Structure formats: C-alpha cells, structure tokens
Structure 1
Amino acid sequence: MARTRLYRHGVLEAEGFPVAEVSDHLHDPEAVVWFDLLSPTPEKLAVVSEELGLHPLAIEDALHPHQRPKIDVYDSHLFLTVYAVRLTNGGLDLSELSLFVTKNALVTVRDSDSCDIDAIIARWDNTPRMAKHGVAFLLHGVLDYVVDGHFDVAEDLDDRVEQLEDQLFSDTPATGRAMQRQMFDIRRTTVRFRRIVLPMREVVTSLMHRDLEIIPSDMAPYYQDVYDHVLRVSEWTESLRELVGNVYETHLNLQGNRMNDIMKRVTSWAAIIAVPTAITGFYGQNIPYPGFGHAAGFWSSTALIAAISVALYVVFRKNEWL
C-alpha cells in the first residue's frame, strides 16, 4: 500500500491510493497531495520529476545519501534535506529524509524505514483544523517530528554525561580505560549530532523568509516554535560538547591526583622500611657495636627501629601522606 494522502479544501479526502494517480490531482488548485517514497529507484524519481517539474540537481541530491542538512530554492519548488535521529547504544541512528515542496504537493523520500512515517501522520491527524493551510501544514508536521527527535537525543546525551559525572566521584569509579572509552563515544556522538543540528537553524530560518511565500501568516507562529526548539537544541549541543571536554579534563586531573596519592604512600612506606634497613645494615659492619654479643644490644636496636618507624608513620599520617 502506497503512503499517499489527498487533502481538498483542508479536509482529508483519500489516502493509500497508488502513486500513479497523484498526477490526476495535481492540476486541481484546491487539492494538496502528499506521497512517500522509500529508497526509490532513479527511474521512479525520474517519473516524479516529470510530473512535478523537479530540478535535476534536486533529484541527484535525493539519490545520493549523506547530504548536509540544507534547503535549496528552485523556481518551481523547494528541496530540503533533514535527518531523523535516534540514540542507541551503538551511537546515532540517522535516517536521511529528502523533501520536495511545491505549491500543492509534498514528496518525502526516505533512505530507510527507521524514520517513523506513522508518527508524522499521527501529528497531522492530531491537528486536522490546520490542514486548511495545505503544504505548509504538512511540512510543519515533518519538521516538528524531526526537531522533536533532535530534542530527545540531546536530552539522552545530557543524561549520559551526568552519569559520567557521577562515576567520576563515586566510591567505586570505573576503570580508567572504560571511562575514557565512554567519554570518547559520547564526544564522537555529540560531534556527529552537532553536524546535524546546527544547519537546521538555516533551514528553518530560510523557510520563514517571507519572499518564499510558503508559510502563511497563520502558520508562522508554529514555524517559530520549531525554530525555538532548533535553537535550544543547538545551544544544548554546544554546551554538551564543552561539558564532555570538562569531564575529560576532570578525569585526567583526578587520575593525576590519585597517582600523587599512590606515590606519597609508596614513598612513605619506603622511608619507614629504610629505617630498619639502615640500622641493621649499620650493625652489620665488621666491627663491634654497642651491645655486641649481648641480648641488650639486640633489644635496643629493635626498640630503636620500632620507635623511629612509629614516629615516621605518625608524621606521614598527620600530613595525610598515608
């Protein structure tokens, strides 16, 4: 079943009809058509291009993945590239979404089914009174879904950074290698996410430009709300990147402090052990020493070792070296 919809006079009139029937409705100025293409072939996109008069460069961008989020303005239509994003244990799950926007048609081209098109349709169905705004209404539903997904990812990344912060000062901190691996993964994910989020400001700002005459005045506040979310996610992503860097620096400082504590303890115990070594070594000379050949000499040297060792232990303990 094709993912298609037909709105006429702001009312959903039909859905699920074949894509081949789309051209029958495009000549009606009161009709608004949406249809979705999942990993289409070049031949199928060529047919769509002839029906809608799409620019060859836009078709080329839709066929070649890994485009930068952008908006291209052509004489007869707009072309947008955005990304639906999910955060998984393995990192970011990106789903590239290409949009062709004409006066009475919206075409969505997905590279995979990880983009939940049913969630987008649900947003349209939840606000049927806005359907009278035609393509602007449909486009808003797609962008709102995409940006809300960005917001969820930023929130999940923030939670993961907070977990790293808690591990830094926990009683049983993670091993250095495991901690560094987690920080590296989060930092890499944040950098990738930033490349997706930052260009969205330009995309939404360009759509709101009045010269395009795409967004009616009644829909402007809704697009402004999307832009506010984009701006907030962008600022959140920037702060997350700095925060991960601060966590990494703090982790290195804590490791240095722990190393200093270990060195102080090792040095302190070495100093304590050096006392009996020095005394017994001194008495090991080939000359008679005080108390030589008597039990009193043994006990006096033993008492001297114990007294000096205890004194050093007390001093080191007082200076928090042990």
Structure 2
Amino acid sequence: MLTAQCHTDDGGWVDVKDLAEISDYRTESGNVVWGEANVADLTEQQIGLIAEEFGLDPLAVEDSQESNHRLKLEPYETHLLVVIQQLDEREGQLEAKPIYLFVGANYVLALHHDAHRLLEGAKSRWKGPNRRFEHGPADLLYVLLDTLVDDYQVTAERLEQEVEELEESALAHPTNTGDLDRRLYRLKQQLSRLRRYAMPGSRVLDQYVQNHSVGFATADETKMFREVHDNLMRVNEQIHNVDDLANAILDLRRADQTAGQNEVTKKLTGWAAIIAVPTLVSGIYGMNFQLVPASGQVFGFFFALTIMLGAALTLYVLFKTKGWI
C-alpha cells in the first residue's frame, strides 16, 4: 500500500489520504510530495496507478520489482531514478534490500523491498521542526543518501573494530585457529558485500556532482551532495583499510601454519634419523656373515648395542642443539 505526504510552505507535512489526488498536490507550486511503498505489498493495478499519478516511465516502475540492482543513477525524460541498497546483518551476513527512488521536479517516490529502517531514519531527519526545503526534492534525496552513507559508515566501523580484535587474537593466540579462521572469513564476506554496494555509490555520486545537468539538480544543489560524496569516499577508504588488515591476518595465519608444518617435518626427520642408525646396525649384525666384528662372541651383543645407543644419543644431542626435536 502506498502512503504519501505533501510538504507545503505554510502547513508543513500533510497526509495525502486519497492517492488519486497525488497528481494535484505535485502540480501545485511550492509543494514537495513524498511517497513510499513496499513493492511486495503492491498489486499490478496499484503499480499502474502509482506510475500514472507520478507520471513515471512504466519501464522504470517495472524495474523496481527486481531486487538485484546495484546502486545506480539513471535519468529519464521526466524524472531521475536512483537505486540504493539498505544493508542488514542477518545470520552473520549482510543482506541487501534495494530502494528505488524516483525523483521528479517536486516529488520523491520510494519503492522498496522491506527497507523500512533506512527510510524511517531519513524521515525522522527531514520532519524536524521548522525544516524547510529550499531545493525541493533535492533536499529529500540529499537526506536519503546521507542517511545511507551514515549507515554504511556504521557497518564499516563495526568491521574495522572486529578486524582489530581478530588481529590481537591472532598475535596473542597463534594456535587458536578454528574460531579465528571462521570469524575472519565471515568478516571478509561481509566486507565484500559492503564493498559491492559502497564503491559503485561513489561513482554514482561523482557523476551527480560533476555533471549537474543529470536529472533536475542545479549547480547550487550539487554542492549539498559533495559532502555525501566525500563521506562515501572515506567509507571506501575504511573498507580498503579493513581489507588490507584482514589480508595481513590471513598472511600471518598462513605463515604460522607453514612454520608449524616445518616444525613437524623437522621433528619427524630428526626422529627418523635417530631410529635409522640403530636399525642399520642391527640389520648388519643380523646378516649371516663371520666378518662382522665380535660376531659369535658374548660381548658382541653389548658391542652392537653400545654402537646403536651411542649413535642414537649423538644424533639426539645434535638435533636437540639445533632445535629440530
């Protein structure tokens, strides 16, 4: 179900009870209309009515029913389409919930996929007392994008704190591999999802800032979005820093594992050499030849045993000194 409100210069926000009156509200000078709807709750007839009342391109409205679009900015003849993504943590992963923003000369329409949290946060900011919209719908779009970037920054800071904790754990407990590796790979997955939506956003905002002829923004209005663009660039820098630190931890883990395997190999080699010498001596004395020293005599057994023990002890001391065992 679509809900709509209209902001007037003299009366603040007014609920639009009859959706058929939206076209009347948005054609009146000085008004700014805000509308929102969850796509899952709309029927085809309601979608057609929304497109008609807001004067939207039918193909653009049809695209809003898909949930796999990344952040993008696409100008149409009568409006601008901006796709943003709300990211929610669910079962250790970041789940994307798209919001399709249709920005016209005096309206903003949001068709979303259960992305209530981000929209409520934005509305709480622009519905403050004495809030005026000197730039019309550009002010609403600015607040929405700024709220989105702030949300991304909170996620980036959480991942940054988590990767620092993982680094401390990796240095303090190098043998605790199982839980550390699972947490690290889960962080890498979340970071990849955040990067997937944050990095294209900087290019979209750069396009909006550098070319104010896109959509309905004027040169003065694009100045509002420079701050959002700069904040998003800082988020991208945080993502790169977290990714670099996570990769450094992975390299440290691989180095520890390689060093551990080398230690095991050295120990096995050392003990194999210690066992090999007595085996060789006993094998020689086990042959049926009379040329073996002290063969057939009583002290021959003790002579062979002394050679085996002496050689084994010598190798043990040698390997122990070198740290192989």
TM-score, normalization by structure 1 = 0.84
Task: Measure the CA separation in 1 of the matches of 2:324 and 2:272.
Answer: 12
Task: Measure the CA separation in 2 of the matches of 1:113 and 1:18.
Answer: 24
CA drift at 1:20: 3.9
- Alignment match of 1:93 (pick from 84, 92, 95): 95
User: Quick check: 1:42–1:63 contact (8 Å CA) kept in 2?
Assistant: no
Secondary structure (helix, strand or coil) at the match of 1:75 reads coil
Match of 1:290 in 2: 294
Secondary structure (helix, strand or coil) at the match of 1:311 reads helix
Match of 1:307 in 2: 310
Match of 1:193 in 2: 194
CA drift at 1:84: 0.9
Secondary structure (helix, strand or coil) at the match of 2:22 reads helix
Task: Measure the CA separation in 2 of the matches of 1:13 and 1:179.
Answer: 51
In the superposition, relative to structure 1, how do residues 316 and 76 fare at CA in structure 2: closer, same or farther (>3 Å)? same
Task: Measure the CA separation in 1 of the matches of 2:100 and 2:275.
Answer: 73
Question: What residue identity is the alignment partner of 1:33?
Answer: V
In the superposition, relative to structure 1, how do residues 302 and 57 fare at CA in structure 2: closer, same or farther (>3 Å)? same
Task: Measure the CA separation in 2 of the matches of 1:132 and 1:59.
Answer: 28
Secondary structure (helix, strand or coil) at the match of 1:129 reads coil
Structure 2: where are the runs of 5+ without partners? none
In the superposition, relative to structure 1, how do residues 150 and 317 fare at CA in structure 2: closer, same or farther (>3 Å)? same
Match of 1:25 in 2: 25
Number of equivalent positions: 318
CA drift at 1:61: 1.9
Task: Measure the CA separation in 1 of the matches of 2:259 and 2:58.
Answer: 61
In the superposition, relative to structure 1, how do residues 11 and 148 fare at CA in structure 2: closer, same or farther (>3 Å)? farther
Task: Measure the CA separation in 1 of the matches of 2:278 and 2:243.
Answer: 54
Q: Deviations over 1:287-318 (max 9, x none)?
A: 47438543x54444444433332321222122
Secondary structure (helix, strand or coil) at the match of 2:78 reads coil
Q: Deviations over 1:206-228 (max 9, x none)?
A: 333333552673x6554222111
Secondary structure (helix, strand or coil) at the match of 2:64 reads helix
CA drift at 1:267: 0.5
Task: Measure the CA separation in 2 of the matches of 1:128 and 1:144.
Answer: 20
Structure 1: where are the runs of 5+ without partners? none
2:141 matched to 1:139?
Answer: yes
CA drift at 1:200: 0.8
Task: Measure the CA separation in 2 of the matches of 1:255 and 1:309.
Answer: 30
User: Quick check: 1:87–1:156 contact (8 Å CA) kept in 2?
Assistant: no
TM-score, normalization by structure 2 = 0.83
- Alignment match of 2:160 (pick from 158, 161, 164): 158
Match of 1:237 in 2: 239
- C-alpha root-mean-square deviation of aligned residues, in Å? 3.0
Question: What residue identity is the alignment partner of 1:197?
Answer: A
Secondary structure (helix, strand or coil) at the match of 1:210 reads coil
Task: Measure the CA separation in 2 of the matches of 1:272 and 1:263.
Answer: 14
- Name the % identity: 27
CA drift at 1:264: 0.8
